[in-house]
Amino acid sequence: MRHSASTWVAEAAAVFMKEWRCEFRTRYSLNTLALFAFTTLVVVSFSLGPLGVSLSKGTALLPVLLWITLLFSVAAGLPRAFVQEEETQTAMALRLAATPSALFCGKLLYGLTLVFALEALVTPVYVAMTSLAIASPGLLVVVLAAGGYGLAVGSTLVAAIIAQARTKGTLFSVLAFPVLLPLLVLAVELTRVAASGTAPDVALPQLLLYDAVVTVAGLMLFPVVWNP
């Protein structure tokens, strides 16, 4: 690429700003997504029963349901980043305006802020509703950050893939869930560790490695996915 580093950063930042500006213009979709996450959360918590689950079973079961809720919310909200470009036929203009890697990073940053916002909304309410005891909150924050990043980066790449296909909505879940499965298992395992307060084992470095590997794969594969 002949672009200098500063124009690359400016491009990525411009894509990021554009995404949020579009979101705030309608706001409708953002509200719907927040409501979706909250409704899923209430359905999950309520289905467990008003009495909840016992403490010993809770540390095994509740982290699974938390991450499933987060996964579904991400699947409901994130694909729009690319699907919208194809639907409003702005994709071609975007191809001309930004280098693929800058575009990917801008979209990833948008997805990341969206996932973090969802986590910030869902996790405290979930912990309060299900009375999940968290022994080490610091570790939980780290796991949410690393797991949320993995969700964002995997979903961004898959969203770019499905945006050019038919039947976008269902296809996203079909393609993304096998990719995100290792991340989900590691995140659940670490959330259990955070809940029970034992020392984290190799799962944390493995989760970080997953994030790094999928980021590199995304940067390498995105240009060929994006440019015809």
Site of interaction with other proteins (CB under 8 A):
60, 157-158, 161-162, 164-167, 171, 174-175, 177-179, 181-183, 185-186, 189, 192, 202-203, 206, 210, 213-214, 217, 221, 224-225, 228
Contact 129, 41 (CB under 8 A): yes
Choose between 114 and 186: whose C-beta lies nearer to other proteins. 186
- Smallest distance from other proteins to CB 7, Å: 26
Contact 67, 37 (CB under 8 A): no
Q: Maximum CA pair distance of the chain?
A: 62
Closest CA to 153 of 215, 196, 197, 226: 215
Choose between 90 and 206: whose C-beta lies nearer to other proteins. 206
- Smallest distance from other proteins to CB 44, Å: 19
Q: How far apart are CA 106 and CA 121, in angstroms?
A: 23
Choose between 9 and 58: whose C-beta lies nearer to other proteins. 58
Neighbours of 217 (CB within 10 A): 14
- Smallest distance from other proteins to CB 129, Å: 24
Residue 176, both tokens = 């993304």
CA distances (Å), 65 to each of 50, 61, 137, in order?
A: 16, 7, 18
Choose between 33 and 63: whose C-beta lies nearer to other proteins. 63
Choose between 25 and 166: whose C-beta lies nearer to other proteins. 166
- Smallest distance from other proteins to CB 32, Å: 25
- Smallest distance from other proteins to CB 91, Å: 12
